[in-house]
Amino acid sequence: MARHAMLIEDEPHITEAIRFLLTRDGWQVSALADGLEAEAALRAARPDLLILDLMLPGRSGLEILSALRADPGFAGLPVMMLTAKGQGRDREAAERAGANLFMAKPFANAEFVAAARSLVSVEGQRA
């Protein structure tokens, strides 16, 4: 069964690049462009990995992540936080909110795929 990643990213070019990279690696990828629909979509899909942009229309990635981490059903969901703002305070805020990994855009393709694999394999070892 393919691993499932949910991507919440409002930049269409980045969405398509990530979809291409992960699909080529055997993943199923769902994507949303708006933060308002994120929680309902996550509850319905139950992905193996969430890739979450920091700045989104409707609701920020930090707001979404904080809400997920407050829900015991999502406490173990691996989350990779993406941002074009690679500043230290953004990284710290993402870590405080419960991100497992913080990655600044642009990123190296091989590094991105390796990070996704790593997050899911670590979670699989805990389950």
Burial class from Cβ neighbours inside 10 Å (0-12, 13-18, 19+) for residue 121 reads exposed
pTM: 0.92
pLDDT at site 90? 84
Q: In what order do the strands lie in the sheet with 79-83?
A: 28-32, 4-8, 49-53, 79-83, 101-104
Q: For the chain, list the domains and their CATH numbers.
A: 4-126 (3.40.50.2300)
Ranges under pLDDT 70 in the chain: 1, 86, 122-127
Q: DSSP string covering 111-122, please?
A: HHHHHHHHHHHH
Share of the chain above pLDDT 90, in %: 78
For 50-60, the pLDDT digits (tens) are 999 999 999 99
